[in-house]
Structure 1
């Protein structure tokens, strides 16, 4: 029997890229969505669909206990299409809730289900001002103001929940700004971009090689260093879906 993975956010940009990589690697993927109309599309891609809202702690716990996944992957966000600036002010608060309350519920459900590993999506542009490039041990910008403070507080809460959970191996992937299929932009954008397919590969390689901790996942840039991911995971920013696991790792 293949190893079972619960992928929270299977219908999102990262989830869409990640599903075929996980299936090709031999995992059985249970993918969550809160919208029932997306279940058939997930099933068509080889995913066992699970319709559940991360904010419904009881239903989430029951679902994970039924599935009993070895690994839980957290790729949930709540952002508007194309990151519409007119909608981002409200979205920042919704996304922070996903990272705080949603992550807390997901960690509790994973522990109840006996899962051994938890991988979670974070961001690579939440560091406090300081020497560049930023390394994983550098502090987050907890003194930020306005909406940036909301985002950073959400990131910090997510990382505390994942890395501080007792009895489960927690790994945090601090992704750069996504571009590529299913994202808001076709080409690199922002100070530390990363192609969505390369970001998905980072999750697969973390499953194989990480023993917990934090990894920056971004293309080479002056702001953020991803040397740890290259060294310990065998990741590189040119990775795309057409590559095979053996060749990639």
Structure 2
């Protein structure tokens, strides 16, 4: 199968390209810069040079690639996110999820690609209950204003993917090499410095996804007829008050402090507080069943230990 990957040098793309090549696929990776092109070549894929926001250039390179499948992993997320400025920090990613998705899926249609897979997020569900959300659960109706543009862009991405008869993989909080939860990531550094507290009761429920598990789910989905949306997360959604102290312990960091919601809102804003106190976890039962996929790291407990145990002793 010829697979065109947009976002080939992102944290998932770096795992996905070698995996697909090892499985015998012909892989074409989109690169916007010379440095990205070099990286795509080093990963073993063919380079397609274009900016995803340039519709004409993107259409030309996708047509030349003549792919059977197109995978959309385009983001531009900064290494460290300020929750009070999330709409600013995600502005380019929001464009890639709206304009970039429109351009890429139009190019895929014109090139005759039969399989479309896009990257969504699993942290989008209405936090009305603590029961992990299945794919049919309602999305967040009135999110904090800093998250509203992000959610709007994700809704647009999902709508266009459905119109293209594609599949959205709703990923959890990504961890592993190159992420903020990676050994040198910004979140890990804050935990090591004792600067990541438990806010309020710490009821925010996180579903985690290791980057390798995200890549393996995409590889499996290429051979599936499943369409719509699937939660690609591990088996153990966990509240902040549970996983954050364990992460600190793995890192040999100070135990997280407890901060009242009112005080946290001054520094983290409404979105930062909602993330740590209201977020709803996701259920992966459907992805396991219809894709015949299972995460290598069934729990963040295993994944954190495997990724970070040496980060405590650099």
Alignment-derived partner of residue 247 in structure 1:
none
RMSD value, Cα: 2.1
Aligned mates of 1:5, 1:115 — CA distance in 2: 9
| Structure 1: 5+ residue stretches without partners | 241-249
1:96, distance to aligned residue in structure 2 (A): 1.2
Alignment-derived partner of residue 159 in structure 1:
158
Structure 1 residue 238 and structure 2 residue 238: aligned?
A: no
1:214, distance to aligned residue in structure 2 (A): 0.8
| Structure 2: 5+ residue stretches without partners | 189-204, 238-280, 299-314
Structure 1 residue 175 and structure 2 residue 233: aligned?
A: no
Deviations 1:205-230 (A, max 9, x none): 11122421211011123421000111
1:86, distance to aligned residue in structure 2 (A): 8.3
Alignment-derived partner of residue 149 in structure 1:
148
- Secondary structure (helix, strand or coil) at the match of 1:90 reads helix
1:89, distance to aligned residue in structure 2 (A): 4.3
1:82, distance to aligned residue in structure 2 (A): 4.1
1:129, distance to aligned residue in structure 2 (A): 2.3
Alignment-derived partner of residue 219 in structure 1:
234
Spell out structure 1 runs of 4+ moving beyond 3 A: 82-89, 187-190
Structure 2 CA distance for partners of 1:142 and 1:100, relative to 1, 3 Å = farther
> Retained in 1: the 8 A contact 2:87–2:149?
no
Between stretches 127-136 and 113-122, larger displacement belongs to 127-136
> Retained in 2: the 8 A contact 1:142–1:149?
no
Deviations 1:39-94 (A, max 9, x none): 12211221101121110001001111111101000011111124466874422222
> Retained in 2: the 8 A contact 1:136–1:214?
yes
1:130 to 104, 128, 131: 128
Aligned mates of 2:141, 2:95 — CA distance in 1: 17
Matches within 5 A, 1:190-229: 191-222=206-237, 223-229=281-287
Number of aligned pairs? 235
1:145, distance to aligned residue in structure 2 (A): 3.3
TM-score computed with the length of structure 2 as normaliser:
0.70
Aligned mates of 1:210, 1:16 — CA distance in 2: 25
